[in-house]
Amino acid sequence: MKGLKIIVLAKQVPDTRNVGKDAMKADGTVNRAALPAIFNPEDLNALEQALRIKDKYPGTTITVLTMGPGRAAEIIREAMYRGADDGYLLTDRKFAGSDTLATSYSISLAIRKLSPFDIVIAGRQAIDGDTAQVGPQVAEKLGLPQITYAEDILSVKKGVITVKRRLERGVETVAAPMPVVITVHSSAPECRARHAKYTIKYKHARSLSELQDTSEDYLQLQKDRPYLLIREWGIDDIDADLEQLGLSGSPTKVKKIENVVFTSRESKVLSAADGDIEYLMKELIDNHTIG
């Protein structure tokens, strides 16, 4: 079989899993700027699935597509170090404020520009929102079938892909014709580490906005090695309708944000001493909570 064309959707996210004390402001709210920006974990699981197909079917190409600010080019480089071939960064102020519907609109337009392709693959959800909506919405906008919660791609042959899915209480194996949109569950294998060869090859990959403050020598280097260019697309590049983007294209509005404030209960503080533990267990037995 000849190689496939795979588009991996990835997102750079603030690492909301471990909000340490450094990231807390004096008023108890989170200082988002202090959180490290990382490659969304399940998108790495998705990249690994794409790389496994590429291992199996030489000639397969992997294109990473992301949407975000200029610094999100970092995750495209990360993907290149692991074996992705090229990457596109959708970046434009007019994307700001997009909810999942507006985001999937923009991403689906970019994917259409990258047509033809066989597989669009993404993480199930991003840790900054946990909505799991963009994958299915992109599939709908492209008019393609979707396979969500993929754990393992079992086979790809004759235009049909067979995938094992992880459900709440079990697993299911489904077959779908390509092209198809797949979202990958965190139970899928972790992504491989950077490959030394690719890390050297793509270490100097830069987007246009990253190039603005680089030297003449570097510009020449990139001219000689066009694969070092991470392409940036704005709304004009994907022929987007302004009404369907950003805030105006987002049906969901945030009415209210409340910082999480801990309302204290009257708490009895105990130590690990025998007396304290025995007191507690007796009290719980006496008030019929246990026993």
Partner 1 sequence: MNNVFVYCEIEEGQIAEVSLELLSKGRSLANLKKCKLEAVVIGSDIKSIEKQIFPYGADIVHVADEKRLYPYTTNPHTAIVKRLFEQEKPSIGLFGATSIGRDLAPRIASVLKCGLTADCTALEIGNHTENKTKKEYKDLLYQIRPAFGGNIIATIINPDTRPQLATVREGVMKKEINSADHYGDVNQIDVADWLSDDDFVVRIIERHIESSKVNIKNAGIIVAGGYGVGSRENFNLLYELAAVLGGEVAGSRAAVDGGFVEHERQVGQTGVTVRPKLYIACGISGQIQHRAGMDQSAIIISINNDTEAPINQIADYTINGDLTEIIPKMIKFYQKNTK
Among residue numbers 134 through 193, which ones bind partner 1 (CB under 8 A)?
134-137, 139-141, 145-149, 162, 167-177, 186
Residue 32 binds partner 1 (CB under 8 A):
yes
Distance of alpha carbon 131 from alpha carbon 127, whole angstroms = 9
Indicate the residue type of 103.
Answer: T
- Binding to partner 1 by residue 212, rule CB under 8 A? no
Q: Distance between CA atoms of 177 and 19, rounded to whole angstroms?
A: 42
Does 33 sit near partner 1 (CB under 8 A)?
Answer: no
Please state the closest distance from residue 187 (CB atom) to partner 1, in A: 8
Residue with tokens 């259409």: 112
- Does 5 contact partner 1 by CB under 8 A? no
Q: Which is nearer to partner 1, 86 or 151 (CB)?
A: 151
Residues 206, 71: Cα–Cα separation, whole Å? 10
- C-alpha–C-alpha distance, residues 249 and 243, integer Å: 6
Of the pair 66, 125, the CB lying nearest partner 1 is at 125
Residue 174, classed as helix, strand or coil, is: strand
Please report whether residue 250 would count as binding partner 1 according to CB under 8 A: yes
Least distance CB 36 / partner 1 (angstroms): 13
The yes or no reply on residue 17 touching partner 1 (CB under 8 A) is: yes
Sequence-distant (6+) residues with CB within 8 A of 241 are: none
By the rule CB under 8 A, 25 interacts with partner 1: no
Nearer to partner 1, 215 or 264 (CB): 264
Q: How far is the CB of 248 from partner 1 (least distance, A)?
A: 10
Task: Give the whole-angstrom CA distance, residue 7 versus residue 49.
Answer: 11
Positive or negative, the CA dihedral 53, 45, 228, 110 is positive
The binding track of 63-92 with respect to partner 1, each residue x by CB under 8 A or -, is ------------------------------
How far apart, in whole angstroms, are the C-alpha atoms of residue 155 and residue 161? 6
Which of 104, 152, 153, 246 binds partner 1 (CB under 8 A)? It is: 104
Paired tokens of 211: 């190039």
Tokens, residue 184: 């990958």
Which H or E run contains 284?
Answer: helix 274-286
Per CB under 8 A, 16 contacts partner 1: yes
- Smallest separation, CB 7 to partner 1 (Å): 18
Does position 284 interact with partner 1 (CB under 8 A)? The reply is yes
CB of 26 to partner 1, least distance (A): 15
